Amino acid sequence: MKKIVLILIAGALIYACKVDSYASFGDEIDAEYALSGAEIAERYESLAVGDTLVTKLKAGINEVCSKKGCWMKLDLGNNKELMVRFKDYGFFMPLDAKGDVIISGKAYLTEVSVDDLRHYAEDAGKSKEEINAIISSEKAFAFEANGVLLKE
């Protein structure tokens, strides 16, 4: 009987070690059926400014707003990055967040103004020279997340 109990406990521990653990922010979401960064980057290619796509994706964090955690940039691969803001400014990420996240919400293509680009550069702690070097708007992959899972 003791052997059976020990085998069951060992099996439960092995299973528990394989299950990913996440900290949750915003709306409750699950980790299932998330697209990869490469898959979502491919879908962005078919979007025009103003189009939206409701989706879920998994990617690595490149950067988080150093002042409040009010935005983050995710790595989509192939030198492509995704700017993520949080629905209704309703939640924030930890300032030291790193690693993989799963986000759920609306993907869209946007034109980012010079003022906004400079604001983001300031939030990210860029130098005055780097901020002043921003002189033109740019199209960007954007995402409004209603929920985030941060891998622990």
The answer to the question of residue 4 being in a domain is no
The answer to the question of residue 123 being in a domain is yes
Taking 70 as the pLDDT cut, the residues of the chain under it are 1-19
Q: Around Cβ 13, how many Cβ atoms within 10 Å? A: 9
The answer to the question of residue 132 being in a domain is yes
The answer to the question of residue 16 being in a domain is no
Question: Using one digit for the tens of pLDDT, what is the confidence trace for 34-73?
Answer: 999 999 999 998 899 889 999 999 999 999 998 899 999 9
- Residue 139 is predicted with a pLDDT of 85
Q: How many domains does the chain have?
A: 1
C-beta separation of 105 from 87 below 8 A: yes
Based on the number of CB atoms within 10 Å of its own CB, is 33 exposed (0-12), middle (13-18) or buried (19 or more)?
A: exposed
The answer to the question of residue 14 being in a domain is no
The answer to the question of residue 105 being in a domain is yes
- Residue 9 is predicted with a pLDDT of 58
Structure tokens at 53: 């796509």
Per the listing, tokens 């997340």 go with 145
User: Residue 95 is part of which domain span?
Assistant: 21-151
- Residue 11 is predicted with a pLDDT of 52
The answer to the question of residue 1 being in a domain is no
- For residue 60, what is the domain's CATH number? 2.40.50
- Residue 120 is predicted with a pLDDT of 84
Cα distance between residue 104 and residue 57, in whole Å = 7
Cα distance between residue 124 and residue 113, in whole Å = 17
The answer to the question of residue 68 being in a domain is yes
Contacts of residue 31, defined as CB under 8 A and 6 or more positions apart, other chains included, come to: 20, 22, 58, 102, 149
